Structure 1
Amino acid sequence: MIPLHVCLLALACGVQAAGRPSAFRDEPRDDLYAIPDGLLIGAGISACQSEGAWNHTDKAESLMDHMTHFEGQTMFPDTIDVAADHFNKWEEDLRMAKDLKFTSHRFSISWSRVLPTGDPKNPSKEGVDFYDKYINKLLELKIEPMVTMLHFDQPYELETGTKGWHHSEIIAKFVEYADFLFSKFGNRVKYWNTINEPNMYCNYFPMMMSMMGIPQEKGSNVYQCLHHMILAQAQVYKIYENKYKKEQNGQVGASVLLWPGVPATTNIEDVMAADQFHQLLAGTFLHPVIFGDYSPTTKYLVDARTAELGLDKSRLPEFTSAEKDMLKGGVADFIAINVYSKFDVSYVGAGGNNSKPSLLGPIAADIPNVALEGKLFDAGDESLMHDALIWLWNTYHKPIVISENGYGDQQGAGIQDTARAAYHSANMRSLLKTMKRFNIKVLAYYVWSLLDLFEFQAGYLQRPFGVIHVDYQNGSLNRTFKDSSKFFIALGETKKVPLVPSSMAPNLGPGICVIGLAWLASQFAIV
Structure 2
Amino acid sequence: MPNTRVKWIISQRKVKTKCKNTSGPYSAMQENKFFELLSHQLSYVKIDRSNACLMSKHTAAMNFPTVDTALFLLMMLLPPLFISCDPTTLKQSLDPSPFPSNFLFGTSTSSYQVEGAYLSEGKGLSNWDVFTHTPGNIDDGSSGDVAVDNYHRYLEDIDLMESLGVNSYRFSISWARILPKGRFGDVNSEGINHYNKLIDALLLKGIQPFVTLTQFDSPQEIEDKYGAWLSPESQEDFGYFADICFKSFGDRVKYWFTINEPNMQVTLSYRLGCHPPAHCSQPFGNCSQGNSEEEPFIAAHNLILSHATAVDIYRTKYQKDQGGSIGIILNTLWFEPISSSTADKLAAERAQSFYMNWFLDPIINGKYPAEMMNIVGSTLPKFSSRDKEKLKQGLDFIGINHYTSTYVQDCIFSACKPGPGASKTEGFCLQNSQKHGVPLGEPTTLFWLNVYPQGMWKIIKYIKERYKNTPMFITENGYGEICMPNSSTEDLLNDVKRVEYMASYLDALITAVRDGADVRGYFVWSLLDSFEWTYGYTARFGLHHVDFATLKRTPKLSATWYKHFIAKHKLIKSQSPKHTSKHPQF
Given the two structures, how large is their TM-score scaled by the length of structure 2?
A: 0.74
In 2, Cα distance between the equivalents of 1:488 and 1:393? 26
In 2, Cα distance between the equivalents of 1:63 and 1:302? 29
Contact (CA 8 Å) 1:182, 1:240: kept in 2 or not? yes
Name which of 394, 398, 404 aligns with 1:335.
Answer: 398
Which secondary structure state, in structure 2, belongs to the residue aligned with residue 489 of structure 1? helix
Name which of 446, 452, 456 aligns with 2:533.
Answer: 456
* Code of the aligned partner of 2:496: T
* Alpha-carbon spacing, 1:274–1:350, altered in 2? closer, same or farther (3 Å): closer
* Alpha-carbon spacing, 1:162–1:217, altered in 2? closer, same or farther (3 Å): farther
Task: Compare 206-215 and 229-238 and name the one that shifted more.
Answer: 206-215
In structure 2, the gaps of 5 or more residues are 1-83, 280-286, 434-439, 573-586
Contact (CA 8 Å) 2:350, 2:429: kept in 1 or not? no
Kindly provide the CA deviation profile for residues 21-77 of structure 1, in whole angstroms up to 9, marking residues without a partner as x.
999976643236543211111111100000111011311010000000124545563
In 1, Cα distance between the equivalents of 2:551 and 2:300? 37
* Code of the aligned partner of 1:455: E
In 2, Cα distance between the equivalents of 1:260 and 1:497? 33
Kindly provide the CA deviation profile for residues 385-421 of structure 1, in whole angstroms up to 9, marking residues without a partner as x.
1111011111112111111101002364311101111
Name which of 435, 453, 477 aligns with 2:513.
Answer: 435
Name which of 418, 433, 437 aligns with 2:496.
Answer: 418
Which secondary structure state, in structure 2, belongs to the residue aligned with residue 184 of structure 1? helix
* Alpha-carbon spacing, 1:266–1:22, altered in 2? closer, same or farther (3 Å): farther
Name which of 250, 254, 258 aligns with 1:186.
Answer: 250
Equivalence for 1:80: 144
Contact (CA 8 Å) 2:375, 2:424: kept in 1 or not? no
Equivalence for 1:205: 269
Contact (CA 8 Å) 1:76, 1:456: kept in 2 or not? no
Question: Residues 241-252 of structure 1: matches in 2 within 5 Å?
Answer: 241-252=315-326
Equivalence for 1:405: 477
* Alpha-carbon spacing, 1:319–1:467, altered in 2? closer, same or farther (3 Å): same
Task: Compare 385-394 and 214-223 and name the one that shifted more.
Answer: 214-223
In 1, Cα distance between the equivalents of 2:139 and 2:304? 28
* Alpha-carbon spacing, 1:105–1:356, altered in 2? closer, same or farther (3 Å): farther
Which secondary structure state, in structure 1, belongs to the residue aligned with residue 344 of structure 2? helix
CA drift at 1:332: 1.0
- % identical aligned pairs: 31
Question: Residues 133-282 of structure 1: matches in 2 within 5 Å?
Answer: 133-206=197-270, 207-208=273-274, 209=276, 211=278, 220-282=294-356
Kindly provide the CA deviation profile for residues 341-385 of structure 1, in whole angstroms up to 9, marking residues without a partner as x.
00122324566335644xx7x977432243433566543343021
In 2, Cα distance between the equivalents of 1:194 and 1:429? 29
In 2, Cα distance between the equivalents of 1:120 and 1:190? 28
In 2, Cα distance between the equivalents of 1:496 and 1:80? 36
Kindly provide the CA deviation profile for residues 199-230 of structure 1, in whole angstroms up to 9, marking residues without a partner as x.
11111113234558897699951111000111
CA drift at 1:119: 3.0
Contact (CA 8 Å) 1:120, 1:177: kept in 2 or not? no
In 2, Cα distance between the equivalents of 1:41 and 1:156? 34
Contact (CA 8 Å) 1:210, 1:216: kept in 2 or not? no
* Alpha-carbon spacing, 1:120–1:194, altered in 2? closer, same or farther (3 Å): farther
* Alpha-carbon spacing, 1:354–1:400, altered in 2? closer, same or farther (3 Å): farther
* Code of the aligned partner of 1:332: L
* Alpha-carbon spacing, 1:147–1:214, altered in 2? closer, same or farther (3 Å): farther
* Alpha-carbon spacing, 1:479–1:217, altered in 2? closer, same or farther (3 Å): same
CA drift at 1:182: 0.2
Contact (CA 8 Å) 1:261, 1:278: kept in 2 or not? yes
Name which of 371, 386, 389 aligns with 2:460.
Answer: 389
Which secondary structure state, in structure 1, belongs to the residue aligned with residue 540 of structure 2? coil
Task: Compare 487-496 and 184-193 and name the one that shifted more.
Answer: 487-496
Contact (CA 8 Å) 1:108, 1:149: kept in 2 or not? yes
* Alpha-carbon spacing, 1:354–1:250, altered in 2? closer, same or farther (3 Å): farther
2:188 is equivalent to residue 110 of structure 1: no
In 2, Cα distance between the equivalents of 1:158 and 1:233? 17
* Alpha-carbon spacing, 1:387–1:24, altered in 2? closer, same or farther (3 Å): farther
* Code of the aligned partner of 2:542: G
Contact (CA 8 Å) 1:340, 1:377: kept in 2 or not? no
* Alpha-carbon spacing, 1:338–1:169, altered in 2? closer, same or farther (3 Å): same
Equivalence for 1:485: 559
CA drift at 1:108: 0.3
In 2, Cα distance between the equivalents of 1:428 and 1:85? 30
Name which of 447, 450, 453 aligns with 2:524.
Answer: 447
CA drift at 1:340: 0.6
Name which of 538, 541, 548 aligns with 1:465.
Answer: 541
* Code of the aligned partner of 1:466: G
2:416 is equivalent to residue 353 of structure 1: yes
* Alpha-carbon spacing, 1:117–1:343, altered in 2? closer, same or farther (3 Å): same
* Code of the aligned partner of 2:250: G
* Alpha-carbon spacing, 1:152–1:478, altered in 2? closer, same or farther (3 Å): same
2:366 is equivalent to residue 295 of structure 1: no
Name which of 94, 97, 101 aligns with 2:161.
Answer: 97
In 1, Cα distance between the equivalents of 2:556 and 2:186? 42
Aligned residues: 460
Contact (CA 8 Å) 1:281, 1:363: kept in 2 or not? no
In 1, Cα distance between the equivalents of 2:181 and 2:136? 27
In 1, Cα distance between the equivalents of 2:93 and 2:546? 37
In structure 1, the gaps of 5 or more residues are 1-20, 304-313, 499-527
* Alpha-carbon spacing, 1:82–1:369, altered in 2? closer, same or farther (3 Å): closer
Contact (CA 8 Å) 2:210, 2:254: kept in 1 or not? yes
Kindly provide the CA deviation profile for residues 285-344 of structure 1, in whole angstroms up to 9, marking residues without a partner as x.
1100010010111111214xxxxxxxxxx210111122112223x511111111110012
Contact (CA 8 Å) 1:49, 1:453: kept in 2 or not? yes
Contact (CA 8 Å) 1:34, 1:497: kept in 2 or not? no
Contact (CA 8 Å) 1:455, 1:463: kept in 2 or not? yes
* Alpha-carbon spacing, 1:349–1:296, altered in 2? closer, same or farther (3 Å): closer
In 2, Cα distance between the equivalents of 1:130 and 1:266? 54
2:358 is equivalent to residue 284 of structure 1: yes
Contact (CA 8 Å) 2:410, 2:428: kept in 1 or not? no
* Alpha-carbon spacing, 1:73–1:295, altered in 2? closer, same or farther (3 Å): closer
Contact (CA 8 Å) 1:60, 1:113: kept in 2 or not? yes
In 1, Cα distance between the equivalents of 2:184 and 2:104? 32
Report the structure number with the largest CA radius of gyration: 2
Which secondary structure state, in structure 1, belongs to the residue aligned with residue 349 of structure 2? helix
* Code of the aligned partner of 1:340: Y
Contact (CA 8 Å) 1:33, 1:497: kept in 2 or not? no
Which secondary structure state, in structure 1, belongs to the residue aligned with residue 258 of structure 2? strand
